[in-house]
Amino acid sequence: MPLRAPTPCRHPGCGAVLTSPGYCDAHRAGQHRDYGRARRGFDTELGFYQSAKWRAVRAALLRAHPVCQLCAARGLLVPAKVVDHVLPIKDGGARYDESNLECICTRCHNAKTARETAGRRPTTP
């Protein structure tokens, strides 16, 4: 069987020569991490949710509304754990506007997120 010609690592500026195309050992893990972050919008979302302003707004809202607002509408008293955007930021919702924020429990948040995600998935004909 013929041997494959050596190829350089795909990482810019790396001079490592490989026997198969791709990334060298030093750059393989970083490439996977960067790809995953870019695909999920990791850096922009993480930066927002870890900002001091968001943490302060979140804490103030949870103090003001300690019970899940969706469960309370059904007569249930469940502790709120999540401050959720009524209209997601991806769809143009305001980040800090209290009229676009609601305090909800983890169960309600997971159900709402699942509905939103299902609505974004392309349908197959």
The DSSP result for 78-116, as a single string, is: -B--EEEESS-GGGT--SS-GGGEEEE-HHHHHHHHHHH
Is the pLDDT reported for residue 35 higher than 60? yes
77: β partners: none
Taking residues 30-44, what's their average pLDDT? 62
Q: What are phi and psi of 115, to 5 degrees?
A: -65, -45
Predicted structure pTM score: 0.62
Q: What is the mean pLDDT of the chain?
A: 85
Taking residues 24-40, what's their average pLDDT? 70
Is the pLDDT reported for residue 112 higher than 60? yes
Three-state DSSP class for residue 13: coil
